[in-house]
Structure 1
Amino acid sequence: MPISQKVPTWFAVPVVFAVLSVISYQTLVVTDNLKGTKNILAMAKTIPIPVDGPESIEFDPQGEGPYAAVVDGRILKWRGDDLGWVEFAHTSPHRGNCSKHQVVPTCGRPLGLTFEKKTGDLYICDGYLGVMRVGPEGGLAELVVNEAEGRKVMFANQGDMDEEEDVFYFNDSSDKYHFRDVFFAVVNGERTGRVIRYDKKTKEAKVVMDNLRCNNGLALNKDRSFLLSCESPTGLVHRYWIKGPKAGTRDIFAKVPGYPDNIRLTPTGDFWIGLHNTKNNLWRLVEKFKLGKLVEKTVKLEVLAAFMNGFKPHGIAVKISGETGEVLEILEDKEGKKMKFVSEAYERADGKLWFGSVFWPAVWVLDRSK
């Protein structure tokens, strides 16, 4: 008797469905496998933090820290293994109902951190409140700028300081979404992201780049002749020329294989970019057929985030040349054993590479000097 006659229909249907589900998952949902990477991030030391989402990390002019911007609106400072994390500053006076695990808009959501070396002031890009500043002693930050050219700063993300010119550059990622809806901002297709130049002397906020898609990370190069702004949906790294014969113009500096978040200058003049993850074919279909607005209306934010990460968040950091933009190195924790949702990679002169996470309650450090 043929096998097809031995197997009842009620059994065959779910088997076929299961096989198709596996094939669909592998084809559509599993994220790209990067080639030539160094799978070494699981070797990093984990430093747990009592609040989720140390999205950006920074060190003060004395080299102390790191300082970490976390989900409940505070900036915490690492005081070593004995003292642990202590509170340094917060961006909102409303502290009554702040959560250690979820964003509460009234509490603010600090993202990019930048210390001004000559003053010790910490500049904070808050995803709800705008650009804030707090002095070397910490405490409640004060508002610096929340509007540019008549439009409110909705989603201040990461910035960098040109101390010679007394200018602070920062990303405003969207005119519709705040931080909590960042995945909708990624898939929606809107191009309302801006790079803003804030002159500390004149207090003027001027848009120098616009028409960007959820531009996330921003950094100046070593001689401050240009800045880079990373688009999360496209993986494009845009360059804006500040000085020289091309001043005031823009071009594409690089493209990275995934969803870039923050970008940091290295001591040698290259850049590290934290990647949330690589892309999958499901995302490419959404892009090709412009389904972002439909996805926003029909898919819950948590489900969207899971699909975009292939249900397997893991750590990735990409190093690009500060001269050419070419990819120099890719580090991974392929299985996500330690690192998940990497938002920033910060290289120190001592050879240590520090990592932050936009959602996970940990900071990591990898000593590459050994």
Structure 2
Amino acid sequence: MEAKRLTTNPITPAGFTLLALLVFTSGFQQQAIDKLHNFERLVLNSVVGPESLAFDHLGGGPYTGVSDGRILKWQGQGLGWADFAVNSKHRDYLLAVITGDATGRLMKYDPETKKVTVLIRGLAFPNGLAISNDNTFLLIAETSTCRVLKYWLQGPRTGTIKVFAELPGYPDNIKRNPRGEFWVALNQNKLQLNGQTAPEQHPVALRLSQEGKVLEVLVGGAMTSISEVEENDGTIWFGSVDMPYVGVYKL
């Protein structure tokens, strides 16, 4: 039987992005959507790209690596950022996505033998690791494929890998929170990277359960190009590839 043609109004790129977001979020047991319009900015001086964040065991920090290769430490309000160390400059991450580079590897380093073992080859821009609370598996944010992979470290499936979560955008790191859940930062949604305009309500971060279910979606606003979400002591800290500040959002 011949299929009937459906006549509909054309959907603009912005409308398509919003529709894709609604379809994505409605398919999961979602607890909340927060619009990140009101958050504190820890402004950097003459540099951009506070891409990754970390705290020391005494609660100091955050520390962040920035685009010119330095690592900075937050000294507190009134004191701002101070140089802490010098690392190296970032590679051209956008080129890796566009060319479909799949030369990434997951490697294990043994500090006793000082040997490195390659566990997985052929990853498409692996861009962040997080280990589960019980150390039975680790998660890999694979940027080019817009997904998170799960690799078993213990148990009958040790050494095997599967897709843990499909994402609506390009992940740029994954961090475990104090409850054993996982925050995935979304650097760009798919339409943005293709040069089209997305509405303000695009997802910038997801909170995933230990089973890969979406628990929370944080939606855009002024905070864009998110590279990392670090939850610490009731506060979410946002890194970014190209913004001149670190975002701070109270839960």
When the two structures are superposed, what TM-score results if normalisation uses the length of structure 1?
A: 0.58
In structure 1, runs of 5+ residues without a counterpart are: 1-22, 92-107, 110-126, 128-178, 284-304
Aligned partners of 1:223 and 1:366: how far apart in 2? 28
Which region of structure 1 is more displaced relative to structure 2, 52-61 or 30-39? 30-39
Give 1:265-280 correspondences, 5 Å limit.
Answer: 265-280=176-191
In 1, Cα distance between equivalents of 2:44 and 2:147: 31
Name the counterpart of 2:225.
Answer: 341
Q: Which residue of 2 aligns with 1:195?
A: 106
Give the Å deviation of 1:312. 7.3
Structure 2 partner of 1:55: 51
Q: Aligned partners of 1:310 and 1:198: how far apart in 2?
A: 42
1:94-142 CA distances to partner (integer Å, 9 max, x unpaired)?
A: xxxxxxxxxxxxxx22xxxxxxxxxxxxxxxxx4xxxxxxxxxxxxxxx
CA pair 191-30 structure 1, distance change in 2 beyond 3 A:
farther
8 Å contact 2:184–2:206 — kept in the other structure? yes
Aligned partners of 1:315 and 1:357: how far apart in 2? 14
1:321 correspondence with 2:232: no
Q: Structure 2 CA distance, aligned partners of 1:279 and 1:250?
A: 24
Aligned to 1:352: 235
| Residue in 2 that maps onto 1:218 | 129
| 1:341–1:359 CA contact under 8 A, matched in 2 | yes
Q: 1:67 to 1:38 in 2, by over 3 A?
A: same
Query: Structure 1: which amino acid aligns with 2:132?
Result: N
Q: Which has the larger radius of gyration?
A: 1
Contact kept? 1:277, 1:309, Cα under 8 Å? no
Moved over 6 A (4+): 311-315
Cα 1:310–1:209 shift into 2, 3 Å: farther
Q: 2:118 aligns to what? A: 207
Pick the aligned partner of 2:158 from 225, 242, 247. Answer: 247
The verdict on how the C-alpha distance between 1:210 and 1:312 changes in structure 2, with shifts beyond 3 A counting, is farther
Between the aligned partners of 2:229 and 2:59, the Cα distance in structure 1 is 17
1:44 is matched with 39
Residue pair 1:261, 1:276 contacting (<8 A) in 2 also: yes
Structure 1 contact 30–310 (Cα < 8 Å) conserved: no
Contact 2:203 2:217 in 1 (8 A): no
213, 217, 223: which is aligned to 1:330?
Answer: 217
Q: How much has 1:193 moved relative to structure 2?
A: 1.1
Higher relative contact order (CA 8 A, sep 6+): 2
Q: Distance in 2 between matches of 1:41 and 1:346?
A: 15
Size of the alignment, in residue pairs?
A: 230
In the superposition, relative to structure 1, how do residues 44 and 224 fare at CA in structure 2: closer, same or farther (>3 Å)? Answer: same
Work out the CA distance in 2 between the residues paired with 1:69 and 1:309. 29
The 2-side partners of 1:364 and 1:192 are apart by 32
Identity of aligned residues (%): 41
- Shift of residue 308 of structure 1? 4.3
* Structure 2, unpaired ranges of 5+: 1-9, 26-31
- Structure with bigger helix share is 1
TM-score between both structures, scaled by the size of structure 2: 0.84
CA distance, structure 2, for counterparts of residue 310 and residue 233 of structure 1: 20
Residue 161 of structure 1 corresponds to which residue in structure 2?
none
- 1:1-370 equivalent positions in 2, closer than 5 A: 26-27=12-13, 32-33=17-18, 34-35=21-22, 36=25, 38-50=33-45, 51-91=47-87, 108-109=88-89, 127=90, 179=91, 181-280=92-191, 307-308=194-195, 310=197, 316-322=204-210, 324-333=211-220, 336-337=221-222, 339-348=223-232, 350-368=233-251
Change (3 A) 1:84 1:231: same
Q: CA RMSD in A?
A: 2.2
1:191 partner letter: A
